[in-house]
Structure 1
Amino acid sequence: MKWKLAARSEKMNPSVLREILKVTERPGIISLAGGLPSPRAFPVSAFADACAQVLGTQAEAALQYAASEGYGPLRQAVADMLPWDVDPAQVLITTGSQQGLDLVAKVLLDPGSRVLVETPTYLGALQAFAPMEPEPVAVASDGQGVLPEDLLAKAAGGDARFVYLLPNFQNPTGRSMSEARRVAVVEAARQAGLPIVEDNPYGELWFDQPPPLPLTARHPQGCIYLGSFSKVLAPGLRLGFLVAPKSIFPKLLQAKQAADLHSPIFNQRMVHEVMKDGFLDRHVPTIRALYKHQRDVMIEALRHEMAGLDVTFQTPAGGMFLWLRLPAGIDTVELLPHAVERGVAFVPGAPFYADAADSRTLRLSYVTASEEQIRSAIAALAETVREQLAHQAAARTEQLLAAEPAP
């Protein structure tokens, strides 16, 4: 039997991250690749209590089909925790924020339509958008995200469907938008009549001070906002949410109904049970403290082990990731198997670019590995870089010698 595939399936490619994670299953590999929250941050006892409570008092409803919009009290809790006036009727509970990206793509994108993204941007968003066959357009970016003037230029003509942005501790770079940049970006989007899809899975993971107000708080009728419970509770729950203007909400709901009817209602009721007494206000600070310490360990290791190499990086003020740029001539896709041989895995930077990838970049996660593993992995990575630079120097010398005329 030969199956005839839909044309859109040609746009579906394996997740580079998931393929790399397979490598990390090999014995002895220290993975700084996957964006996996630390299991030390999982509130196991709180969920054990919530599970008993839900099954003890809500079992019939918790194990039954439910409304596609999501569990009403959880939608209200989401609306209450956001820093602008949100009607719970605008909140859609999703099966992870990744589903939110999928729903946005299905509702807003056509084949050939333009979608603007940061340089670089979240790989999972590019993957979610791809089956709808849009044209992703990279907007010039710096250490604070997209440049407002280039956003205006790329939005000229009015045919871009939306711009996708991660203002807080961005995946992959860890960078954040300042207050001034947020004001300028929202003003540029207003001028261009360009909707914003704001993805904020890491916003609560700040280390020293909370980030400025979300873009959506400044322009609620022009934004769709995505959030997640994965980073503050546990990713295995597969629960996220989106907040959308009432004009577009019904279509997103219809796409949700077609996709999975509703997100797991048992999980929704458990999350609400955990959240209802202010648990997040007590729990999230412990995650921040843990991740800040892990970040500091990695920064210290990088400064020590990469000394003398042309390696650059920013110190993130929150989130889970560090973004490195290695010396000229290093291609991190080619470097990865050599690093794996030394027992460390990372994510090459190229897949995070919509176009014109910087092959010298890579992403590291500092939240899952232990302190000892971080130090060991960074040392192994530095050794790998030095080894590759030495091989390149030897190859250049050999070429020069081969080019010299015979005596």
Structure 2
Amino acid sequence: MTISFAQRLDHVETSAIRELFKLLGKPGIISFAGGFPDSALFDVAGIRAAVNAALDAEPGAALQYGATEGYGPLREQLAAFMATKGARDVAPEQLIVTTGSQQALDLIGKTLISPGDKVIVEGPTFLATIQCFRLYGAELISAPIDRDGVQTDALERLIEQHRPKFVYLIPTFGNPSGATLSAERRRAVLEMAVRHDTLIVEDDPYGELYFDAPPPPSLLALSAEVPGSRERLVHCGSLSKVLSPGLRVGWMIAPPELLAKATMCKQFSDAHTSTFAQATAAHYLASGAMPQTLARVRQVYAERAHAMTEALQLELGAALAFVPPRGGLFVWARLTGAGGALADGDEFARRAIERGVAFVPGAPFYASQPDRATLRLSFATVGVDRIVEGVQRLRLALLG
């Protein structure tokens, strides 16, 4: 039998990153490819205690069906968590719990995008977002970024020209760019949202993973200072990078009418996020263990980021340009071709695999006009010694 698939699948492809993982079974390979947190840093003892507390306190609630909007105690804890991040006026009923922040993006696509709608994203941006929004028929328009995040002058021109359904941004330690939107530009984004009556989607899975100084306040936190901006803002958060991706706990804060539609669509897909996972997360947050966990992962990731940037400068020199990250999980780099060196990210990735090291070429992270000289390196899951060895292998792949 020939299966006739939905037309919406005509313009989406399998993730280039997931395809790359198929090549990583080679013994001894050093992987800078994944965007995963390091499982060795998971607070297993704290999560185990939270599991036990959930089963001891309300076993029926933890193991039963739950409300689509989310487990009440977790929504309260998440509202309190947002307050520690500067968003002090978030009430529990103003957020819904999602199955990871990825589901929040899918719900945004389901509720807002009709075929042909225009959506502005950063260039580059999160690959899964490109795939998700295209699945619902969006025409994606790339806004340029630099080390300080999206270039707001260019963004405003694109908003004026295209009148998008919404603008999607990762303002803090972006994936893949690692860029952080400056405080001045954050305010500018909120002001243009009001000026042009444009919805802004803020995706913030990495904001707690800073190395030295905290980043500027989130758009959500700053919205209290820009009248009219809050009702034009959606904020997506996640515990995946700071606690455990296996819990699949994320959340979305949005205007009431959008939240209601998203809740309705969530009913159609999974009814509710796992109540057991939600109860576990609620007890973990209530235990007060999160600050210590964050302090530990920040220290480790900072050491690894420093090791990678230092090794890249030493081994590859002028052949690779990048801005040292101030947080997050990634180094975003560009091959310069200096000294006649290779300047094609795809070819570099193939040569690197042969040398026993993997990374993700940058082209798939662009919704349009990809820069094929770019690449994304993740330092999160590799120890310092292996990072140095892996970068030495990169030098052999690029220059050898």
Counterpart of 1:263?
273
Matching of residues 315-326 of structure 1 within 5 Å: 315-326=324-335
Deviation at 1:158, TM superposition (A): 6.1
Question: In 2, are the aligned partners of 1:216 and 1:222 still within 8 Å (CA)?
Answer: no
Alignment deviations for residues 87-140 of structure 1 (CA, whole Å, 9 cap, x no partner): 211111011101111000111111110000111111111111111011000112
2:115 matches 1:111: yes
2:132 matches 1:128: yes
3-state SS of 1:140 partner = strand
Match of 2:283 among 243, 249, 273: 273
What is the rounded CA distance, in whole Å, between the counterparts of 2:192 and 2:38 in structure 1? 37
Match of 1:246 among 222, 242, 256: 256
Counterpart of 1:206?
210
TM-score (norm 1): 0.92
3-state SS of 1:23 partner = coil
Question: In 1, are the aligned partners of 2:351 and 2:398 still within 8 Å (CA)?
Answer: no
RMSD, matched Cα: 1.3
Runs of 4+ deviating beyond 4 Å: none
Alignment deviations for residues 39-86 of structure 1 (CA, whole Å, 9 cap, x no partner): 121010111112222223322221111110011111111112222211
Across the two proteins, how many residue pairs are aligned to each other?
386
Unaligned runs of 5+ in 1: 388-407
What is the rounded CA distance, in whole Å, between the counterparts of 1:353 and 1:56 in structure 2? 48
Counterpart of 1:398?
none
Matching of residues 387-398 of structure 1 within 5 Å: 387=400
The structure that has the greater radius of gyration is 1
Counterpart of 1:58?
58
2:296 matches 1:296: no
Counterpart of 1:380?
393
What is the rounded CA distance, in whole Å, between the counterparts of 1:11 and 1:77 in structure 2? 39
Match of 1:97 among 95, 101, 122: 101
Q: Percent identity?
A: 41
Matching of residues 163-174 of structure 1 within 5 Å: 163-174=167-178
Counterpart of 2:380?
367
2:170 matches 1:160: no
Question: In 2, are the aligned partners of 1:148 and 1:188 still within 8 Å (CA)?
Answer: no
What is the rounded CA distance, in whole Å, between the counterparts of 1:210 and 1:201 in structure 2? 14
3-state SS of 2:257 partner = coil
Counterpart of 1:403?
none
Counterpart of 2:240?
230
3-state SS of 1:306 partner = helix
Question: In 2, are the aligned partners of 1:195 and 1:223 still within 8 Å (CA)?
Answer: yes
Question: In 2, are the aligned partners of 1:158 and 1:194 still within 8 Å (CA)?
Answer: no
What is the rounded CA distance, in whole Å, between the counterparts of 1:318 and 1:140 in structure 2? 21
Counterpart of 2:226?
none
Match of 1:330 among 337, 343, 356: 343
Question: In 2, are the aligned partners of 1:151 and 1:188 still within 8 Å (CA)?
Answer: no
TM-score (norm 2): 0.94
What is the rounded CA distance, in whole Å, between the counterparts of 1:281 and 1:117 in structure 2? 32
What is the rounded CA distance, in whole Å, between the counterparts of 2:81 and 2:141 in structure 1? 33
